[in-house]
């Protein structure tokens, strides 16, 4: 389990800064998601940094949505940040050729698991941050899907259940399920 690490080495800080500049410049050039992708990516990265995870995981967190939400490719990430970071980003990115949403999600989550502990930690942090916005989904069907995604990930990634990010996500799930249940009850009553 990672331990909190409030100080980082100068070279690590510079690597992180390079990734932040890459994220911002790439997203400003070709970003196509109306959601706050830059802020989301930075929240995840700095949470992982604060928890003491490796600079690889932190940098992958910064870059994790670029492939889905901009013109950046996995090869661009590998060329600029190395194979391991590129592989983590690839693992957490949906395969756009799979049209069924649940199948696309399952395939991605299985890739995350195959990529290993660091990719699972990254995905747990991503899902945790996203869980605060489930209530903003366009409809109940979408909210149910997002809760299903959290449940499915927690089952598939149980080998990291001692990690703080997994525990945080596990703790959020009942809150979101209760919120959705309450919403449905209010609609019926």
Segment 95-109, tens digit of pLDDT: 999 999 999 999 999
Over the chain, what is the mean pLDDT?
A: 92
User: How many Cα atoms occupy the beta-carbon half-sphere of 71 within 13 Å?
Assistant: 5
Q: What is the C-alpha radius of gyration for the chain, rounded to an integer number of angstroms?
A: 17
Q: Are 85 and 75 in contact (CB under 8 A)?
A: no
Segment 37-63, tens digit of pLDDT: 999 999 999 999 999 999 999 999 999
Mean pLDDT computed over 57-82: 97
Q: Are 90 and 75 in contact (CB under 8 A)?
A: no
With a CB cutoff of 8 Å and minimum separation 6, the contacts of 121 are: 48, 53, 57, 160, 163, 165, 166
Determine whether 81 is exposed, middle or buried from the number of CB atoms within 10 Å of its CB (0-12, 13-18, 19+). Answer: buried
pLDDT at 8: 76
Confidence (pTM)? 0.92
- 1 has a pLDDT exceeding 50: no
């Amino acid at each position: 389990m990672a331990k909190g690490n409030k100080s980082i080495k100068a070279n690590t800080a510079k690597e992180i800064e390079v990734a932040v500049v890459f994220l911002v410049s790439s997203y400003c050039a070709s970003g196509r998601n109306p959601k706050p992708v830059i802020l989301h990516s930075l929240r995840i990265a700095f949470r992982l940094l604060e928890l003491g995870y490796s600079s690889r995981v932190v940098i992958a967190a910064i870059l994790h949505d670029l492939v889905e939400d901009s013109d950046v490719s996995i090869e661009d990430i590998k060329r600029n940040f190395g194979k391991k970071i590129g592989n983590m980003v690839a693992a957490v990115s949906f395969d756009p050729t799979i049209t069924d949403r649940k199948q696309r999600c399952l395939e991605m989550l299985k890739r995350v698991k195959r990529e290993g502990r660091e990719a699972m930690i990254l995905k747990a942090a991503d899902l945790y941050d996203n869980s605060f916005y489930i209530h903003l989904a366009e409809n109940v069907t979408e909210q149910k899907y997002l809760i299903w995604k959290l449940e499915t990930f927690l089952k598939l990634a149980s080998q990291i259940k001692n990690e703080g990010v997994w525990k945080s996500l596990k703790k959020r799930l009942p809150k979101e399920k209760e919120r959705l249940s309450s919403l449905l009850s209010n609609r019926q009553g």
